[in-house]
A and B are shown apart, each in its own frame.
Chain A
């Protein structure tokens, strides 16, 4: 699903990633771990097509990211995101937040996805009317709505208690079991229980 070949990255003259190469297969649950400054956020940004690497090649679903003509559509149709602070839009209801991310032909599935995640009753509520755990479940629903090939999650449980963290990991694990590749960057070692592949980064290199 994802093939990383000799990827390096620089911020100005400072090198943060060193010649990384690895593969992630479909349906894997990859745990990207590392200390602050290890380069995991940069690697996650590159893998999720948000950042262009200084060197090397990234293939997603057989396509070289460099050669994708409409990266916005590619991102919307093939990639789902879950961020640490949920990043829902406050003036949109739960339903509208998911609809914003949904492709036209996927909008009919919004209620179904909300039901599967146990938050169907929150559909008309606004992000500031629900709990942190519920918000993150909405963020997962938003990531799943287009049935993406890959979900990238950046510290998805960083602002949650252990109970809600377990719920979110469970949801991501379920997605992986259905064939979606899940890549999670986190400090939280609890995730090792769910991961099928682990990449540990230190100073921009794979340990």
Chain B
């Protein structure tokens, strides 16, 4: 009760702590959500339509991988392989847009992209994702010094694809000078996956064959995104912690007399520490809830911001929410630890010395 009254009494300083926690928590929320969103989108793109992925051996990024598309013929003859398709993923300036994703795929994969208008692309034609289509009113677009006719538009649940361009794999091969970035293989028998992987691996010594599940788990780009997200979150956490510590120090300093009174009245040091912890905790949990609402709002807005072309998408899972709540409570405890300790050591003699004649 005293803690809550103290919070309302020190409105400005409480607001400073509340703001610094809100900003730090929002930063952690957003960076974690966006990175998980990006990982989720790319994982979904790879996992949705295949059980096995074939990439170039020793190349850690699908953007740089080059696999011979002719392998598909041999792969489809392997027992329990139901289908396969090849894909080139790349990025290039498209018209006035500085960078956008380009997906070159074999025609048997076109149905993955739901046509909203027009028809699937033939040679020198492209279809545009819903997000990027909003930015082009023309019938042709330039990609890498080549002109392509826009044959239609498509929609996709995956933000990356919504902001990208799809063309046939031969055109993409000429643009990016490769045969295929990867080949995805589906099987009609989940129990035979390991056997199929062995057989595909034997076809070419220059390829790496994995289940899509394992690929996603081990993909270096995801690890980089996760590590970067962790570092930024940690920095935001530290900034929040420093914010709490510095404002709490100011609060403790301005309330020395009050702590002196409590000590003189026989209140223990633990009583003062507990009260200050509780004050910070109340502010932190309120700031957490506020930041959660703001972050949900921002994440809901992100896919609708044309400039971002749907590439920045966030997923706010229960796991992230709990992780951030835990970080917030840690921030509150560590941020108020030293100021609360200092406050508890306030010497009540100061009350006599201040009043002494």
Contacts and interface: CB of A to CB of B under 8 A. Distances in A.
B5 interface: yes
A84 interface: yes
Contacts of B355: 83-85, 154-155, 158
Interface in B256-288: 257-258, 260-269
A20 B258 CA distance: 32
A51 B357 contact: no
B71 interface: no
B121 to A, nearest CB: 70
B267 A155 contact: no
Contacts, number: 78
Interface in A72-89: 72-77, 79, 81, 83-85, 87-89
Interface string B2-29: 1001101100000000000000000000
B349 interface: yes
B331 to A, nearest CB: 25
A154 B349 CA distance: 11
Nearest to B257: A87
A90 B352 contact: no
A75 B5 CA distance: 25
B6 A91 contact: yes
B352 A83 contact: yes
A90 B257 CA distance: 11
A72 B88 CA distance: 74
A180 to B, nearest CB: 16
Contacts of B260: 87
B348 interface: yes
B266 A73 contact: yes
Interface in A40-59: 41, 44-45, 50-51
A154 to B, nearest CB: 5
A50 B266 contact: no
B269 to A, nearest CB: 8
Contacts of A186: 357
A96 B354 CA distance: 24
A71 B4 CA distance: 28
B118 to A, nearest CB: 68
A54 to B, nearest CB: 14
Given A50-B349, A91-B5, A155 B261 contact: no
A85 B5 contact: no
Contacts of B357: 36, 41, 155, 158, 186-187
A74 B258 CA distance: 20
A75 B266 contact: yes
A64 B259 CA distance: 26
A12 to B, nearest CB: 15
Interface residues of A, number: 32
Contacts of B264: 50, 75, 81, 83, 87
A101 B263 CA distance: 10
Given A154-B356, A155-B357, A187-B357, A89 B266 contact: no
A72 B272 CA distance: 12
A122 interface: no
B36 to A, nearest CB: 43
Given A45-B349, A45-B352, A72 B8 contact: no
A100 interface: yes
B353 interface: yes
B9 A91 contact: yes
Contacts of A187: 357
Contacts of B351: 81, 83, 87, 154
B261 A89 contact: yes
Nearest to B255: A89
Contacts of A83: 264, 351-352, 355
Contact of B352 (A44, A73, A91): A44
A125 B216 CA distance: 65
A92 interface: yes
Interface centre among B258, B262, B357 (most CB of A within 10 A): B357
B272 to A, nearest CB: 11
Contacts of B268: 72
Contacts of B263: 72
A41 B267 contact: no
Contacts of A84: 354-356
A115 B263 CA distance: 27
B70 to A, nearest CB: 79
Contacts of B261: 87-89
B69 to A, nearest CB: 75
Contacts of A36: 356-357
15 contacts: A41-B356, A50-B264, A50-B347, A72-B268, A72-B269, A76-B267, A77-B266, A85-B354, A87-B261, A87-B264, A90-B9, A96-B1, A96-B2, A154-B351, A158-B355
Given A75-B265, A81-B264, A88-B261, 11 more contacts: A36-B357, A41-B356, A45-B352, A50-B349, A74-B266, A76-B266, A87-B261, A91-B8, A100-B262, A154-B352, A155-B355
